[in-house]
Structure 1
Amino acid sequence: MSTIETERYPYEASSEKKAVLYRMVMENHLCPFGLKSRHLLKSNGYTVEDHHLTTREETDTFQRTHDVATTPQTFIDGERIGGHDDLRRFFGKAVTESGETTYEPVIAIFSMTALMALALIYNLSTGYMPGEGWGLFASAIQWFLAFSMCALAIQKLQDVEGFTNGFLGYDLLARRWVPYAYIYPYAEAFAGIGMIALIGSGSPLIWPVGLVALFIGIVGSISVFKAVYIDKRELKCACVGGGSSVPLGLISLTEDLVMVVMGLWMIGTLLV
């Protein structure tokens, strides 16, 4: 959601540190920028008077009353600061402007592929042999799933901010703690690269890799299942990165279940 152009107010710390926030919290829509604004205010020491706009009509009335085009809107010391981008500027934080040049996608692609190559070389250097028959088939599945996790992580890392906007729409943990949305792509990349490096190695490093995959997979599975199959919400899937038109559902649930299976599989190799 874009923010409106507003007058810029210099940041002066208030002794009371109170802010008033208006954001959309509807049955089928939770504004990610509202969540980000609330987190930004709290992380800067503000007590937030959090007003929920629960219907389209209520939101339209608020926008007409305050002559604004978008929500969320933040007010500090009686002055309207504006939307999420305006709030970031208020606190002196960087804001990526529309159309601004970025090398984030290129960095994400080549950094990840380099790490994947190094992980594969490390695995081969341990002398791992997949065996024959079922052993070969099982190894092929593990490699496929590990590389798939890395590919999905690359999609997210090309536009982390865009990914978080979609992810905050349904992930239960990210809604409670916004930084988790930013951590998730790196956690998925860590798990995928770790699996490539450690499949069949028997290394104790499998524990952190497996536990990370297990954790994000379980949280993700519960979140997607609740959003799609219990709440019956129609959302876009953040699993392939920001701006995706893929509907949230079986694909995203499968991604999360794959991480659960791989986490259990990797840990299981240390226990048998």
Structure 2
Amino acid sequence: MKHTYHIQGMTCNGCRTSVEDKLSKVSGVTNASVNLEKEEAVIQMDSYIDTATFQKVLSEKYTISEKRAEKNALVSTDNDANNFFAKGETEKSKLQQLKPLLIILGYIAIATILLNYQRENWNSAMLDFMGLFFIVFSFFKILDLKGFPDSFRMYDPLAKVVPAYAWVYPFIESALGLMFLIRFEIPIALIATLVILGITTVGVTKILLDKKSIQCACLGTALKLPMTEATFIENAIMIAMAVVMLTRIL
């Protein structure tokens, strides 16, 4: 069962993530997605939940009212052709949503190649890629330093327990990026990468297994990206690089 609500009082992405988090935690809610521009929340639930219940969990600055209710459409599995096209549209939609992430990763890869194409030994290419990765991704997080922590705490296990960690995380990434680029204390930087990305990957994996729909904060809140398998793969690539470099150094 899916219902759509109008929400007044949201002024920034921090508000949006806070509202989305509180609505998601209401008993009986299977998924909650909030759109800041439309001032709208689409909530999927096992059985009908009255608006007053949602209002109780929200801050007084927010007002929620129901716009419409609609049941999830049942898709017939008898027509294989329809299922094929529906699947294709879903995959296309995911690719469109992840377009900013793919473009940024492409630029980082190109920059890495340009920095290393004249070198006889490409062993340092991984360090350059990791350094550029952390610098670029931390930049987007710092763009909305107020909204990022709320989004990050929705899936990072350590940030949920230690809220201050979410605030300093972008600066940790910046520091690691600089360490990789200037080749400063590389073993420490690699171990730190394994720890922080390992923790985040645990949270991402849980979200994916629970099939929840939340915003990924890998590029901050300036670019709205869904939490998908691509986020897991992105972290896995960095972790794999850190492991490879550690085995070469140690």
For 1:72, the equivalent position in structure 2 comes to 59
Q: Secondary structure at the match of 1:179?
A: helix
Determine if the alignment matches structure 1 residue 239 to structure 2 residue 218. yes
Where does residue 190 of structure 1 map in the other structure? 175
AA in 1 matched with 2:127: Q
Q: For residue 261 of structure 1, what is the aligned residue in structure 2?
A: 240
Which structure's CA Rg is the greater one? Answer: 1
8 Å contact kept, 2:140–2:222? no
The answer to whether 1:161 aligns with 2:161 is no
- Seen in structure 2, the aligned counterparts of structure 1 residues 213 and 30 have a Cα distance that, compared at 3 Å, is farther
Residue 2 of structure 1 deviates from its aligned partner by 7.4
8 A contact 1:174–1:181 mirrored in 2 = yes
Q: Select 1:61's aligned residue among 21, 38, 52.
A: 52
Alignment-derived partner of residue 109 in structure 1: none
On the 8 A contact 2:149/2:166 being kept in 1, the answer is yes
1:225 counterpart (189, 205, 214): 205
SS in 1 for 2:218: coil
Aligned pairs for 1:202-213 (under 5 A) are: 205-213=185-193
- 2:71 maps to none
Change (3 A) 1:30 1:177: farther
Residues 56 and 220 of structure 1: CA distance in aligned 2, closer, same or farther (over 3 Å): farther
Corresponding residue SS for 1:257: helix
Task: Name the amino acid aligned to 2:153.
Answer: L
Superposed counterparts of 1:91-240, under 5 Å: 132=120, 135-136=121-122, 138-198=123-183, 205-228=185-208, 230-240=209-219
Write the distance in 2 (CA, Å) between the matches of 1:164 and 1:215.
Answer: 19
Q: Distance in 2 between matches of 1:71 and 1:211?
A: 40
For 1:9, the equivalent position in structure 2 comes to none
Displacement, 1:140?
2.7
Kindly tell me the number of residue pairs found equivalent between the two proteins.
164
State the Cα distance separating 1:213 from its structure 2 match.
Answer: 0.8
Other structure's SS at 2:215 match: coil
* CA deviation profile, 1:169-194 (whole Å, cap 9, x unmatched): 22222122212211221111121111
Deviation of the 1:263 alpha carbon: 2.9
Q: What is the letter of the counterpart of residue 227 of structure 1? A: I
Q: Which amino acid aligns with 2:174?
A: A
Indicate how the Cα distance of structure 1 residues 175 and 131 shifts in structure 2: closer, same or farther if over 3 A, else same.
same
Name the aligned partner's letter for residue 184 of structure 1: Y
TM superposition score normalised by structure 1 = 0.50
Does structure 1 residue 252 correspond to structure 2 residue 237? Answer: no
What RMSD over aligned residues (CA atoms) do the two structures have, in Å? 3.4
Provide, for residues 96-120 of structure 1, a one-character-per-residue CA deviation record: whole Å limited to 9, x for no partner.
xxxxxxxxxxxxxxxxxxxxxxxxx
Q: Comparing 206-215 with 247-256, which one deviates more in the overlay? A: 247-256
1:190–1:254 CA distance, 2 compared to 1 (3 A): farther
Indicate if the aligned counterparts of 2:33 and 2:213 stay in contact, CA closer than 8 A: no
Per-residue CA deviation, residues 2-61 of structure 1 (Å, 9 max, x unaligned), is 758xxxxxxxxxxxxxxxxxx542354599xxxxxxxxxxxxxxxxxxxxxx99836x31
